[in-house]
Structure 1
Amino acid sequence: MTAEDELTIRVLSALLREDVVGLRSRSTPVVRQDGRWLRLPAAEGEALLLPVAEDGYQSEYAARLPLLRRETADRRTADLASCDDILGALRALADPVDRPGFDEFAEEYRQTLATMRLHDEVRAGTHQRLATRYGPDPARWRGHRGALAHDTLAAYLDHPVYPTARGRRGLGTAELRAYAPEFHPRYRPRWVVLPREAVTAAGAPFEEVLPGRWPSPALLGLPELDRDHLALPVHPLTKAQPLQDALRSVGLDRYATLARRPHLDLIPTLSMRTGAVADHPRIHLKLPLDTATLGIGNRRTIKPGTLADGAACQRLLQAVIAHEPRFKDSVLLADETCWAHAGHQLLAALVRVHPAGLDRSAIVPMAALLAPAPSGRLVIEHLADRFHDGDPLALLDAVLRLLFDWQTTLFGYGIALESHQQNISLVFDATEDGPRVRLLLKDNDGPRVNAVRLGDLLEPVAFEDPRIVSEDDGPLADLFTTITVHLCAGAYAYGLARTGRAPLTAVLRLVRDRLAEAVDRLPPPPREVLRERVLEAARLPVKAMVSAGTLFSKERCRAADINKHYTTGPNYLLRASPPGPGRPPALTPRA
């Protein structure tokens, strides 16, 4: 199957899952000689037919062929196989106000396809360079430096939900090669020198966190500004005009100086806007990136308020760990209390400090587990060989026990984290008592908090984003389901089954059993909430990321947060339970 075919199938599956133009709700299933189709009425007696197969992971069906079939009133047919033709046919059925979003998504498709083809060209060479630099076995890539190599492997995978995730809006091949994690490059940021009084900062001074590495104005060739100015890093992909516009908008254009000298070697992480300091890789710099991923509305800049919220959430997690000492040595937190901004989302920086003492550990972002290693085998297989006698299910079992225990405990306190595959790393060690796995968390600036229950258990924490706080469990349960269950558990069940590494029923049973054990340890009412809304629900919330991120405006889809806008899908956890009335009804096909 070509890259274009793979992408088209993912796009069609996502549009079906999100019920775009009624693909799911207005379609009638029909069975033809080659399999099942969904027939969507169109204009003037015509119809669009989508070939589908049973799926189960967040949607009953997924596309099985890379095409739509147009059927006329007299049953003549024509296949639409190109992106432009497919999206054009669906665009014609959309409300006129929504049609520009289909044009934007078509551009995303083209950018992603170009990136996929580039990946196909360079993947083997990149894998060879990683094997040469770090060794042939990724289970022995150690410490924070080895984690960067795992980030590179993960960057070649597709997002479990968003079909065009490999595209970065507005970036060409040369820019990807120079700054994207899948190429494992080094780069140097530029620096804008600002009056100290114009900068809002928190935590230890940057110069203390990165002694000898954070540049003074003098080091950047501006000695006359050394006494009362501070240098903020600027990602090289931030172009001069947007930067100038940002400075002007906060009244700093006459007081800012862009240093001519770049400084500090960085290596991009899986989050492209974050770079690890090359000679001190446990320290990362998160910088605004003037592009969009996972939808045109998902800008990769840094809103100043998110810096304070990330630090506030870190303090909240530290308080939970202090109350729950069993997590003291098993849940590690990156320090995100050191940050600064000048009042604009292009003038900001976070200095993230990861825990010390992990130089001999294998640190693997969850997003890398299903990535092919240089050997051609999956990363999870290499890790299983080293730590779990070659059994990937035993490794996943150990991960899920800890992950579900931690996340359900947080839910009991009234906290749900947006800790998806990119924001959780697994820390593996071989100890005298056997293999040990720990969680390493970062980037926790978008949680949901039940203020009522949290206030009964811990000191309240203030957040700048009003969307974070609620007075009930609904937003928390939705976030818990779409992130912890779907992305950090279900994705691996279906991924291991799809690649032939384990039977789907066995992995789903493992996921359900470990989740049920963790939920049953909770007191009421959070225990009942998770049982009712997750374990026993007929349908589960599912991210509608294409709709909220690109196709529709925020006003049209009514998304307060495009990363937390949902549709629903089948509860695959019920497949691991005895049959019962909670099963969703199947669609009845007609000939």
Structure 2
Amino acid sequence: MSARTAERDLARAATSLLSVEPVDPGRDAALLGSWLAEPASSWWGMADRDVDAVRTYLTAVRDDPAQAGWLLRRDGAPIAYAETYDPAVVLLTDVWDAEPGDVGMHLLVAPPPAEGRVHGLTSAVMRAVVEHCRDVLGARRVVVEPDVRNTAVQRKNAEVGFRALRVVDVDGKRALLSVLDTARIGVPDDGGPAAHLRPEHLEPAERHLVAKAIAEFTHERLTAPRVDGDGWALDAGDSTYRFRARVHTLEHWVLDEDSLTRTRDGVPAPLSAQELVLDLRDVLGIPDSMLGTYLDEIASTLASAAAKHRRGGPSAAQLARGRTDGDVVASFQDAEAAMTEGHPAFVAANGRIGFGLDEYHAHAPEAGARFRYRWLAARREHTHLALAADRTEHDHWAAELDAATVAGFQATLERRGLDPDGYTWFPVHPWQWQHRIAVTFAPDLGRQDLVDLGEGPDEHQPQQSIRTAFNRSRPARSYVKTALAVQNMGFLRGMSPAYMRTTPAVNDWVAGLVDADPVLADAGFGVLREHAAIGYTGDAHHRVDVASPQRKMLAALWRESPVPRLGPGERPITMAALLHRDARGRSVAAALITQSGLDAADWVRRYLDAYLRPVVHCLTEHQLLFMPHGENLVLVLRDGVVSRVFMKDIGEEVVVVGDVAVPVGTERIVHPVDDAEAALGVFTDVFDGVLRYLAAILDEDGVLSGATFWRLVGACVDDAVVGRARPLDLRAPDFEHSCLNRLQLRNTLQMVDLSAQTESLIRAGRMPNPIGR
């Protein structure tokens, strides 16, 4: 008999001796107070409560219809206290998408006696409580949220069948949200870091990605489904895919995923995104040398989607409402971690080639984890720190690092006999440090041109833009964006030190135009400046004029946080959330409209005035073209309505599309194009890249018809172009259809030449303009 089996049998025997009864506050307060005072009970945070306080607490639990307290006895002697609650209204209202039959649970086990300890008793108590939840309370699922540091109870949870989902912020702690299907009580969760790769998680991910691939490849006119009875069929090699779908404006396909089937030579076959790519290999045109990389990115995207499926996530209503305690920072980052698509258009959207399992769980944005940056001292003669006009180096470090941290950095250098004045401070991503800097820059570390200073004190949370992280310890401090040499969505995600030299100057100039423009001020439009940037060029790769990925391994920037710029009653959310559906298919956009109490058309009109109108105005008045997709916009919400927006990611992605004077040294952003090419900045990046998805979501949900949505877009555009310096014709009947997946399929290592992006684009004929005359 195995040790685990023996322990399980002991637990079952102990369970048979246990009874569960409602707690009696008057009778039990003193006893429970003595248990709570024990060091082992510190996780309850009630060690300092006297008997009266414990009695008051237990009475409040007893009198709350959403909670209950229970005393467990063994042979008549009290041995544990349990609480049960309705997670729809208590404690987990912001982080758990509760369903009927869900019961939350807390457990406090009595301190073991000095002698006569019963082996397996804690396991028996845990099992007795969850069986009570099932048999007496009718629970289908039991949910718990132990402190992430309480590994002992996590082991007991796993033993009885709980599976860990994700880390959440709840009740002032970082908690490991875990759930038990009561039909599987006693089946231990042997999860581990690869638990998301089980069939029950991977199969839905495959179905979703195959549906998305068919939709997007058809949108880009690579594939052409045929009518098949009351549905559609796509012939691909020796496979045929059948499904029901609706086709919306801009040739946007929404497949009914449940209806999707595949046959191979007439025989039913499982859905597989990689096999779909192979089935379509001839029409997709992937070069042989790139096929392996693209299949890797598909596999990684599937693994990410499977992990998201296992974790679940907040409901659309929870994300739309935000935190019930008014914590705008927590709700902002809840939404950032909840996003599931990566990018709405790209099929292979979450490649992240280079991350292992542990690194995925630590650094993928959907994991919601936190990390600390590694800090280096970089010799000044090889390093360039560029600053915004309103920031000195002293101001910068005073804003971003505590004085004690800087003093520690200086002391490290002094212990090595180095002069701190000859160095500046440099944040690097922990993955980059481990896999690139400590290897590629080993000679620089040996020369002490770079000096390892260890981890910084602030915790950061990864954002949808995987190189960027938000400061959770000091939310008013800047975002930090660092080079991260993983292969992801068509690029190795490095950063150029050469670009960093001019990034603050570009941001200053753009911010100056925006701040001085009364139309943009009226719309509340703002930019989050990248107000400091740093790059290191002391390595061997910078001593030769040969382009290489190694020249983009060591650079970083600091971007303004939106938090200090929020007013009372305002909260931020990534614009990507408008295209998000939760685990049960409900959209955040529809939930926001419901929350606002506005008519859907009024809500959309206000959103377009805050987002589309400024984007069009910047293009037609200042010839400024942003990259205004979901993760580059921060929406500011007030009562569920978009009141204004912040644009970010300026330095690398803003383009001046006309003959406009720019500050000396920033000429790299000027790329004049003709009117038709300039208009594509709206047609491709806004209409096709954002609004076609939102229009379809609202139409599918029965919230607002597509025809009404695009009429509102047309009215907004008409207002935005009147009297502008470059009145582009955004009402043209059609426009060139620029395709993103075609770029990645052509070269998944580098989709476009960033110095000549227009010349790199791939077109697929012309697309009817949804607001065309």
Compute the TM-score of the two structures, normalised by the length of structure 1: 0.78
Contact between 2:312 and 2:583, CA under 8 Å: does it hold in 1? no
Distance 2:283 2:690 in 1: 35
Distance of aligned partners of 1:420 and 1:311 in 2 relative to their CA distance in 1, 3 Å threshold: farther
Q: Does 1:567 align with 2:763?
A: yes
Which of these residues, 424, 435, 441, is aligned with residue 633 of structure 2? 424
Q: Does 1:268 align with 2:462?
A: yes
1:480-500 Cα shifts (integer Å, max 9, x gaps): 222222234232111222333
Partner of 1:588: none
Question: What is the CA distance between 1:273 and its match in structure 2?
Answer: 1.6
Distance 1:135 1:552 in 2: 38
Q: Which amino acid aligns with 2:348?
A: T
Q: Secondary structure at the match of 1:55?
A: strand
Q: Does 1:510 align with 2:712?
A: yes
Contact between 1:305 and 1:464, CA under 8 Å: does it hold in 2? no
Partner of 1:257: 451
Partner of 2:217: 15
Contact between 1:450 and 1:471, CA under 8 Å: does it hold in 2? yes
Q: Secondary structure at the match of 2:458?
A: coil
Partner of 2:614: 406
Distance 1:61 1:136 in 2: 29
Q: % of aligned pairs identical?
A: 19
Question: What is the CA distance between 1:448 and its match in structure 2?
Answer: 2.5
1:34-433 aligned at under 5 Å gives the runs: 34-37=230-233, 51=242, 53=245, 55-59=247-251, 81-91=271-281, 98-124=287-313, 127=314, 137=322, 143-153=328-338, 155-203=339-387, 204-205=392-393, 206-212=396-402, 215-216=405-406, 218-219=408-409, 222-224=412-414, 225=418, 226-247=420-441, 254-282=448-476, 283-295=478-490, 298-328=491-521, 330-343=524-537, 344-355=551-562, 356-358=564-566, 360=568, 361-372=570-581, 378-386=587-595, 388-412=596-620, 413-429=622-638
1:493-532 aligned at under 5 Å gives the runs: 493-519=695-721, 521-523=722-724, 526-527=726-727, 529-531=728-730
Compute the TM-score of the two structures, normalised by the length of structure 2: 0.61
Distance 1:375 1:5 in 2: 15
Question: What is the CA distance between 1:563 and its match in structure 2?
Answer: 11
1:549-568 aligned at under 5 Å gives the runs: 549-552=744-747, 560-561=756-757, 565-568=761-764
Distance 1:556 1:485 in 2: 21
Distance 2:729 2:324 in 1: 35
1:570-585 aligned at under 5 Å gives the runs: 571=767, 573-574=769-770
Question: What is the CA distance between 1:399 and its match in structure 2?
Answer: 1.4
Question: What is the CA distance between 1:437 and its match in structure 2?
Answer: 0.8
Question: What is the CA distance between 1:419 and its match in structure 2?
Answer: 2.1
Q: Which amino acid aligns with 1:403?
A: Y
Q: Secondary structure at the match of 1:315?
A: helix
Q: Does 1:443 align with 2:652?
A: no
Distance of aligned partners of 1:141 and 1:184 in 2 relative to their CA distance in 1, 3 Å threshold: farther
Q: Secondary structure at the match of 1:451?
A: coil
Distance 1:397 1:408 in 2: 15
1:447-505 Cα shifts (integer Å, max 9, x gaps): 221232x34xxx55643646x51243344322222222223423211122233332222
Partner of 2:682: 480
Distance of aligned partners of 1:118 and 1:79 in 2 relative to their CA distance in 1, 3 Å threshold: closer
Distance 2:751 2:597 in 1: 52
Q: Does 1:470 align with 2:652?
A: no
Distance 1:372 1:78 in 2: 29
1:237-273 Cα shifts (integer Å, max 9, x gaps): 1153521454369898552222344532212222222
Distance 2:377 2:474 in 1: 23
Q: Which amino acid aligns with 2:347?
A: P
Question: What is the CA distance between 1:289 and its match in structure 2?
Answer: 1.6
The higher relative CO (CA closer than 8 Å, separation ≥ 6) is in 1
Distance of aligned partners of 1:364 and 1:183 in 2 relative to their CA distance in 1, 3 Å threshold: same
Judge which range, 485-494 or 183-192, deviates more.
485-494
Distance 2:696 2:664 in 1: 37
Which of these residues, 733, 739, 743, is aligned with residue 537 of structure 1? 733
1:378-424 Cα shifts (integer Å, max 9, x gaps): 433454355x4244442221010232321222112222111211111
Partner of 1:548: 743
Distance 1:135 1:102 in 2: 40
Distance 2:618 2:247 in 1: 31
Distance 2:583 2:736 in 1: 36
Q: Which amino acid aligns with 2:293?
A: E
Distance of aligned partners of 1:512 and 1:214 in 2 relative to their CA distance in 1, 3 Å threshold: farther
1:284-320 Cα shifts (integer Å, max 9, x gaps): 111112213223xx22221223334543442333343
Distance 1:144 1:196 in 2: 35
Distance of aligned partners of 1:359 and 1:250 in 2 relative to their CA distance in 1, 3 Å threshold: farther
Distance 1:365 1:61 in 2: 24
Question: What is the CA distance between 1:369 and its match in structure 2?
Answer: 2.3
Distance 2:435 2:337 in 1: 31
Distance of aligned partners of 1:256 and 1:171 in 2 relative to their CA distance in 1, 3 Å threshold: same
1:304-351 Cα shifts (integer Å, max 9, x gaps): 233345434423333433552232361122121211111342211111
Contact between 1:246 and 1:347, CA under 8 Å: does it hold in 2? no
1:197-230 Cα shifts (integer Å, max 9, x gaps): 2210111323133241694373486141433222
Q: Secondary structure at the match of 2:337?
A: helix
Q: Which amino acid aligns with 1:99?
A: D
Contact between 1:238 and 1:290, CA under 8 Å: does it hold in 2? yes
Contact between 1:340 and 1:349, CA under 8 Å: does it hold in 2? yes
Contact between 2:204 and 2:306, CA under 8 Å: does it hold in 1? no
Q: Which amino acid aligns with 1:147?
A: F
Partner of 1:585: none
Contact between 2:573 and 2:635, CA under 8 Å: does it hold in 1? yes
Distance 1:313 1:13 in 2: 38
Unaligned stretches of 5+ residues in structure 1: 583-591
Q: Aligned-pair RMSD on alpha carbons?
A: 3.8
Q: Secondary structure at the match of 1:286?
A: strand
Q: Which amino acid aligns with 2:574?
A: P
Distance of aligned partners of 1:380 and 1:245 in 2 relative to their CA distance in 1, 3 Å threshold: same
Judge which range, 470-479 or 276-285, deviates more.
470-479
Distance 2:325 2:630 in 1: 21
Distance 2:451 2:750 in 1: 39
Contact between 2:480 and 2:559, CA under 8 Å: does it hold in 1? yes
Q: Which amino acid aligns with 1:91?
A: R
Contact between 1:482 and 1:541, CA under 8 Å: does it hold in 2? yes
Distance of aligned partners of 1:287 and 1:410 in 2 relative to their CA distance in 1, 3 Å threshold: same
Unaligned stretches of 5+ residues in structure 2: 1-202, 538-550
Q: Secondary structure at the match of 2:427?
A: strand
Larger Rg: 2
Distance of aligned partners of 1:251 and 1:114 in 2 relative to their CA distance in 1, 3 Å threshold: closer
Q: Secondary structure at the match of 2:612?
A: helix
Q: How many residues align?
A: 537
Distance of aligned partners of 1:383 and 1:48 in 2 relative to their CA distance in 1, 3 Å threshold: closer
Distance 1:245 1:550 in 2: 31
Contact between 2:284 and 2:745, CA under 8 Å: does it hold in 1? no
Question: What is the CA distance between 1:110 and its match in structure 2?
Answer: 1.4
